[in-house]
Structure 1
Amino acid sequence: MIVRRFLLWARTANAEARASGAAALAGAYLRSGMADEDRREAETALISLVDDPSPLVRRAIAEEMAASPQAPRTLVLSLIADQSDVAALMLAHSPVLTEADLVDAAAVGDDLAQRAIALRPNLAASVAAALAEVGGDEALVTLAGNPTADIPDFSLERMVERAGACGPLREALLARGDLPGGLRQVIATMVSDTLMSFVTGCGWLTPERSARLTREATERVAVALAAGGEASDAPAIAEVLRADGRLTPGLMLRSLLSGEPALAEAAFVMLSELPQPRVAALLRDRRGTGLKALYRKAGLPRALQPAFTAAITALNLRGFDAGGNGRGIDRVILREVLIACETLEGPDTDALMGLLRRMDSEAAREEARTMADALADDAALALFVEADPALLVELEIGDLRDAA
């Protein structure tokens, strides 16, 4: 009887009053112990109110029903077909919606609806895949920023294919811990190319200088990604670089000179078409047995072979898999390569020595930056101690505790 009186009252009430009444009815349906007949009448009334001309009424119902698993499915499906701000409430929160419902809604919804779906916690892979195919840029950014969304690798690739030019999307994807290494390299290359076009277009650098700086930046990122990721990342990154024509001997040499040979090793496997265990054994053989044959099998330039041989020898002396210094080019390894190559003669020697000297200059600058940071830290500490000498005592006590 109460529900019937509500429906009679709603015929003449204004929109604000109807919205308030609809919210109260929805709340009572979800939380009060209605008799079965009253509950059926309340459900009928709520479904009829979905056709109310005022969005205030429909939104009020959506706000009450959005998070409830007891919401009538017919009502929920009606609300997700409503205008965007009403539908978004249900799409973002309703546990009543199935994966199929969400896939369909993603296909026909506008940007707000797609973003609402992308926000859902623990979003299923099928829904994420649908958004990756049809979602607008903002929806894709939202999806990439959802840490609990199960986004398949092929869908991550599709997002980059469709909207890789979108800076916020690239940033959101790079922040994901599950982004494959190969795709990180694709995004890094996009960023480098965008920056190159910008500085060249502004006339700040010549095209040649800009291209060189971009190439070197891309190489540094590739080496770091291959070294710091999963074992499968290096081959994936090498494949991306080869597809782009960027898997160069210079990049492989940089990987070795950085003390991070994962990328170079993956490249040797790819170029030589030898089994990975065989390549790994040849590179780690301190006697150098078969290294010349591996180099030739990979089809690398003969002029660079002394540099590769010296770098691999230096790596094996310290431990091939010992890891780099974390600052890029390792000048200890580079020094051995320079010594091995400085007496070479031939038409390609100048180009090789020019490459090595640029890498040496790059490493020297990085060392200088690191030292400058350390000196600045020392100066800051000295100022603190000068202002409060007791701080020095506290630091010394802390060091003693750590030593103990």
Structure 2
Amino acid sequence: MTLRQFLLATQTAPAERRAEAAAALARAYCHGSLAPEAAWEAKTALLGLLDDGSTLVRRALAEACASSDTAPRPLIVALASDQPEIACLVLARSPVLMDADLVDCAAIGCETTRAAVAGRADVSKPVAAALAEVAGAPSLTVLARNRHAEIGTAALLRMVERHGHDALLREALLARPGLGIEVRHAIAARVAEALSSFGLASGWLNRERGERVNREARDCAALSLGDEAGESGLARLVAHLRGQGQLNAGLILRAILSLRMPFAEAALADLSGLSRARVAGLMFEPRGAGFAALHRRAGLPALLLPAIQAALSAWREAATGSAEIEGPRLARRMIERALTACEDMPFAESRSLMALLARFEAEAAREEARAHARFLAAEAERDDILRIEAVRREAAGFLPEAVPMQSLATEAVASDRLSRVLDELPDAIIASYRAEHERRQAEAATAVLDGLSDALMTRFLADRATSGAEAERAEEPAQPLMLVTVPSRGPEMQDAPDLVESLISESILASYRDDRERIAA
């Protein structure tokens, strides 16, 4: 059929027939099997079908050409600007479209077409940056979930800046592997802002208290991120905070009083322009003139100098061994020293600083209480596990070693004393003991089996496979998990001999014993 005949036929045929003919012609052209003259006529016909008034025809063209890298570029560009349901087909898949085409479609398109662009497998950094500037939260969520998309740090920060209030977007961003520490801090700041706004809207907080809660939550998030950032990440975080205007005296004071010395060193080095090693040396001599000069060069208020010097002096005493305290107790000692240093200042000048230090002291006291509670909980769990071990050994010790392991475990579990102990303990303690006990058994079995010869191991595996097949055919119910086994016979090989006897058949064990006796003779 010539081009003239095809065009005449499509003008009089129903829309469904025209769509079928358009799809067939598009597939033939993209296949690349047409002669040069026929290919030119087919291309001309396909471009002419763009003026068809039926969306069925244009949709058929888009479906046939969307994934082809030989589709006519003018056809694909035109379809990308069509109705959203047609444009999305080519925007999501077409390899013919260039970054400039995608950026243009993102700028003038709707959220549906932007989501199609965001979901492409080859989203480049320029396209991601364009979407970050104009797209809404739903499209940016699709972009954040696209693991193949290349998104620069600036684009990620812009996404958080524009739509960080959207919880789905924050969740998608945090799930991206290798997310920069600057972006993580920006997300944490938006979460703090959202919580503060919620408290204000609910009437739980007034505006001043809400702003303070937001600021302190943001500072705590920055310090927590700094703990896991590493050297390069910490420098990037400090630079980001300075660019955002959040690297202030309050944050540095909080870092010092919470024992985040690496963060304080990096912050003072960034503000003063000195090397971090030089700053660390000056911080270790807080009463010297060098630290006072560092304080002024970093632009910190002079009011803070006595408090910081007093806190760093307490820290230096602990570091040199003069005072044997650490952790939350050391932090409280530093805060107490800072409060004492502020007592000689005029009340009008030191009022806000002393209020800040009092809040820090309350936080340090709560952290000390939490640490003590965690210690007591761990100690109680350890005592409960020891009780289980003691009762298990006592219950198992009344039975002869000749009893098979399965019978031994059954009788031990049935003992009244063990049952009473298990009933008194919480499920979490029992689960913890069970996991540790299974791990020990697995290690013991591995150690014993590793010592067997290759020939004996081969026979053991073959016998075990045969036993497993027979058990599967018999469809016997699985034995319940037992917490009690025979008493340990060594720190490294606990339950090993009995465990091997339960795993290896009697014939293999007899053969192994005969071999050992013959070698010994």
- Match status 1:361 vs 2:405: no
SS of the residue corresponding to residue 93 of structure 1 reads coil
Label 1:3 to 1:243 Cα distance change in 2 as closer, same or farther (>3 A). Answer: closer
Higher RCO (Cα < 8 Å, 6 or more apart): 1
Label 1:68 to 1:168 Cα distance change in 2 as closer, same or farther (>3 A). Answer: same
Q: 303, 307, 329: which is aligned to 1:304? A: 307
Q: 1-side partners of 2:339 and 2:158: how far apart? A: 48
Q: 2-side partners of 1:187 and 1:209: how far apart? A: 21
SS of the residue corresponding to residue 50 of structure 1 reads helix
SS of the residue corresponding to residue 11 of structure 1 reads helix
Identity of aligned residues (%): 39
- Match status 1:337 vs 2:334: yes
Tell me which residue corresponds to 1:396.
440
Tell me which residue corresponds to 1:323.
none
- Match status 1:92 vs 2:92: yes
5 Å-filtered alignment, 1:261-340, equals 261-283=261-283, 290-295=290-295, 297-298=297-298, 299-300=300-301, 301-310=304-313, 312-313=315-316, 316=319, 330-337=327-334, 340=337
5 Å-filtered alignment, 1:140-155, equals 140-155=140-155
2:314/2:337 contact within 8 Å kept: no
Q: Match of 2:40, as an amino acid?
A: R
SS of the residue corresponding to residue 92 of structure 2 reads helix
2:328/2:365 contact within 8 Å kept: no
What do the CA deviations read for 1:340-369 (whole angstroms, capped 9, x no partner)? 457654355954652342122331354367
Label 1:357 to 1:154 Cα distance change in 2 as closer, same or farther (>3 A). Answer: closer
Offset of residue 311 of structure 1: 5.9
Q: Match of 1:39, as an amino acid?
A: A
Tell me which residue corresponds to 2:74.
74
1:282/1:289 contact within 8 Å kept: no
5 Å-filtered alignment, 1:41-120, equals 41-120=41-120
What do the CA deviations read for 1:295-325 (whole angstroms, capped 9, x no partner)? 454435134124431464268559xxxxxxx
Tell me which residue corresponds to 2:127.
127
Q: 427, 443, 446: which is aligned to 1:380? A: 427
What do the CA deviations read for 1:124-155 (whole angstroms, capped 9, x no partner)? 22222322333333333333333332333333
Tell me which residue corresponds to 2:203.
203
Label 1:130 to 1:381 Cα distance change in 2 as closer, same or farther (>3 A). Answer: closer
1:118/1:146 contact within 8 Å kept: yes
Q: Match of 1:267, as an amino acid?
A: A
What do the CA deviations read for 1:248-293 (whole angstroms, capped 9, x no partner)? 4443243245443332122212443434442244346799894454
- Match status 1:26 vs 2:26: yes
Label 1:190 to 1:353 Cα distance change in 2 as closer, same or farther (>3 A). Answer: closer
Q: Match of 1:129, as an amino acid?
A: A
Tell me which residue corresponds to 2:194.
194
1:99/1:124 contact within 8 Å kept: yes
Label 1:113 to 1:359 Cα distance change in 2 as closer, same or farther (>3 A). Answer: same
1:330/1:363 contact within 8 Å kept: no
Label 1:315 to 1:81 Cα distance change in 2 as closer, same or farther (>3 A). Answer: farther
Label 1:313 to 1:3 Cα distance change in 2 as closer, same or farther (>3 A). Answer: farther
Q: 1-side partners of 2:263 and 2:371: how far apart? A: 23
Q: 2-side partners of 1:158 and 1:67: how far apart? A: 31
Q: Match of 1:305, as an amino acid?
A: I
What do the CA deviations read for 1:188-212 (whole angstroms, capped 9, x no partner)? 2232123212212211234454444
Label 1:365 to 1:142 Cα distance change in 2 as closer, same or farther (>3 A). Answer: farther
2:253/2:308 contact within 8 Å kept: no
Q: Match of 1:362, as an amino acid?
A: R
Q: 2-side partners of 1:284 and 1:20: how far apart? A: 81
Tell me which residue corresponds to 1:227.
227
Q: Which stretch of structure 1 is more off in the superposition, 78-87 or 186-195?
A: 186-195
Q: 1-side partners of 2:4 and 2:155: how far apart? A: 50
Structure 2: segments with no counterpart, 5+ residues: 386-425, 448-491, 494-521
SS of the residue corresponding to residue 33 of structure 1 reads coil
Structure 1: segments with no counterpart, 5+ residues: 319-328
Label 1:201 to 1:74 Cα distance change in 2 as closer, same or farther (>3 A). Answer: closer
Q: Which stretch of structure 1 is more off in the superposition, 70-79 or 369-378?
A: 369-378
1:306/1:340 contact within 8 Å kept: no
Q: 1-side partners of 2:2 and 2:316: how far apart? A: 89
Tell me which residue corresponds to 1:324.
none
Offset of residue 58 of structure 1: 1.0
Offset of residue 70 of structure 1: 1.0
Tell me which residue corresponds to 2:394.
none
2:315/2:330 contact within 8 Å kept: no
Q: 1-side partners of 2:377 and 2:18: how far apart? A: 66
What do the CA deviations read for 1:88-136 (whole angstroms, capped 9, x no partner)? 2212211111222222222222222222222222322222232233333
Q: Say how many residue pairs are matched.
A: 391
Label 1:392 to 1:166 Cα distance change in 2 as closer, same or farther (>3 A). Answer: closer
Label 1:75 to 1:206 Cα distance change in 2 as closer, same or farther (>3 A). Answer: closer
Q: Which stretch of structure 1 is more off in the superposition, 41-50 or 163-172?
A: 163-172
Q: Which stretch of structure 1 is more off in the superposition, 4-13 or 211-220?
A: 4-13
Q: 2-side partners of 1:210 and 1:185: how far apart? A: 19
Q: Match of 1:172, as an amino acid?
A: A
5 Å-filtered alignment, 1:142-181, equals 142-177=142-177, 179-181=179-181
Q: 1-side partners of 2:173 and 2:97: how far apart? A: 27
1:91/1:117 contact within 8 Å kept: yes
